[in-house]
Amino acid sequence: MIAPRAAGIPILPSMQATHSPVLLALVAAALASCDTAASSSGREARGLVVQNPSDDRRAFFHDFGHVPLGEVVSHTYEVRNTDPDPVTIQKIAPDCACAVPVISYLDPHSGERVRGRSTGEPVITVPPGALVELTIQIDTRHVRQKNIDKLSIVKLSCDSRNEPFPFFELHVVVDSPLQATPEAIELKEIAASNGGLGISKVITGVQGSPVQVLGIASVSEGIEAEVELLPESGVPVWVVTAKVAPGLPLGPFSGAVHLRVTEMDGSGEGPPYPIAVRATVVRDVILRPATVGFGRFSLVDGARAEAVVRAVIPGDRVLVTDAALVGTGAEQIAVAFEPVKPDPAGRSAEWRVELTAHPSMSVELFTGKLRVALDHPTVPELEVTYIGRTR
């Protein structure tokens, strides 16, 4: 067969010569080799092929339809490796934190189930002909946008010569009676002695919906909450106020406020509607960052690094009385501190602490502690690590 002529390129007589018998034999052999590779296992080699499609027109697509908020749904794709060679899946990448994939196959020789890695690469190597189970779970609580179409895509990267980048599509509509803004009350860093306060505004999930908020159903330990109806422009808006109590242990805090709500049609009482409350409990005064890094610097230039002392309680002020280093190279690093917008007494809500490493540093790697002394009723001293390297 003569290849189609490219536009604007004439076919010269020399190009119309009779095909060589040797060339034809080589082409026939190559085609036969391809056919043999594809049919050696009795099937066409097409890479990873879905065996149980929900939609014959879109084998990699599955529709969960409408799912109530709070439910966790999953679908398992049965996927056959139709290639004559093993296929290594290097990566499985969901486009949304709401989707969690798990992959495995049943070893035909041992009868044991071989599971893919949940972290790291490669994920799994699938033998020729093996039937893979790819289960994708969707947690509706982690789907950001509710009451609208959501298409979650999970992409695979593999070394199949026929289908190296298959991707799976899952459609879902999360039915939520309400919509909170923000969806979670994020208080970030809160002082241990003071706690924290935040709000979220709640409206109906669909405009004109008869759903009503009836009150507070429950709260997690360490949280106080109240809800108040404050309509805006004739639209019902429920303002939820959550207060994290003082005296909690230092570190991450996570809880929730659960609202009492009616059914979707406005009748009776439906499942509680959750609003997450998250915070990090810290001391009343903090020193950041936790590690003050100089990076790698030239002995000719020296280097500078900076830390910040901050009072966490709104309106609180602190006085830095001293700052010093203890550790390797401490004698060759100068320390200075100054307040940001101090009051007449010299106290400030924030202080800058500057560390200057001199060009004459005699050690290649140096590390130690930066200690800051304070005049404050609950926090007398703060400490963080410093580190640097010369080149």
Query: Residues of 281-303 as b/e, b for ≥16 C-beta within 10 angstroms?
Result: bbbbbbbeeeebebeebeeeebb
Strands 291-297 and 381-390, by their bridges, are parallel
Determine the pLDDT at residue 34: 43
Check whether residue 55 and residue 171 sit in a common domain. yes
Give the CATH number of the domain where residue 72 resides: 2.60.40.10
Determine the pLDDT at residue 43: 57
pLDDT one digit per residue (tens) for the chain, 391 residues? 344 433 333 433 333 444 445 444 444 444 444 443 444 444 578 899 999 998 889 999 999 999 998 899 999 999 999 999 999 999 999 999 999 999 999 988 888 999 999 888 999 999 999 999 999 999 998 898 889 999 999 999 999 999 899 999 999 999 999 999 998 999 999 999 999 999 999 999 888 899 999 999 999 999 999 999 999 998 999 999 999 999 999 999 999 999 999 998 899 999 899 999 999 999 999 999 999 999 888 777 788 999 999 999 999 999 999 999 999 989 999 999 999 999 999 999 999 999 998 887 777 889 999 999 999 999 999 999 999 988 7
Determine the pLDDT at residue 172: 97
Domains in the chain, number: 3
Check whether residue 56 and residue 160 sit in a common domain. yes
Check whether residue 53 and residue 171 sit in a common domain. yes
Spatial distance between the Cα atoms of 24 and 369, rounded to a whole number of angstroms: 78
Check whether residue 250 and residue 319 sit in a common domain. no
- The values of phi and psi at residue 231, to 5°, are -60, 145
Spatial distance between the Cα atoms of 256 and 244, rounded to a whole number of angstroms: 10
Strands 61-68 and 319-327, by their bridges, are unpaired
Which domain does 310 fall in, by range? 285-390
Spatial distance between the Cα atoms of 4 and 244, rounded to a whole number of angstroms: 75
Which residues lie closer than 8 Å to 324 by C-beta, 6 or more apart? 330, 335, 370, 371
Separation in Å, CA 167 to CA 51, 95, 185, 276: 15, 11, 34, 32
- Cα 78 to chain centroid distance, Å, stands at 27
Domain boundary among 282, 309, 342: 282
Check whether residue 271 and residue 323 sit in a common domain. no
Give the H/E segment covering residue 372: strand 365-375
Sign of CA dihedral 30, 31, 32, 38: positive
**30 falls within a domain:** no
Tokens of 229: 């109806």
**6 falls within a domain:** no
Look at residues 186, 369, 193, 198 and name the one whose alpha carbon lies nearest to residue 282.
193
SS3 160: coil
**305 falls within a domain:** yes
Cis peptide preceding 182, ω within 30 of 0: yes
- Cross-strand bridge partners of residue 261: 213
- Cross-strand bridge partners of residue 365: 389
* Cβ proximity of 170 and 62 under 8 Å: yes
**17 falls within a domain:** no
**Is 0.85 surpassed by the pTM of this model?**
no
Query: Residues of 342-360 as b/e, b for ≥16 C-beta within 10 angstroms?
Result: eeeeebbbebebebebeee
Residue written as token pair 């639209």:
235
**4 falls within a domain:** no
* Cβ proximity of 256 and 183 under 8 Å: no
Determine the pLDDT at residue 33: 42
SS3 39: helix
Domain boundary among 260, 282, 304: 282
Determine the pLDDT at residue 246: 97
Tokens of 6: 């490219």
Residue ranges of E strands in 86-212: 87-94, 99-106, 113-115, 124-126, 131-139, 149-158, 167-175, 178-181, 184-191, 196-204
Spatial distance between the Cα atoms of 62 and 55, rounded to a whole number of angstroms: 7
Spatial distance between the Cα atoms of 279 and 257, rounded to a whole number of angstroms: 14
Domain boundary among 266, 282, 298: 282
Check whether residue 187 and residue 277 sit in a common domain. yes
**277 falls within a domain:** yes
Check whether residue 156 and residue 232 sit in a common domain. no
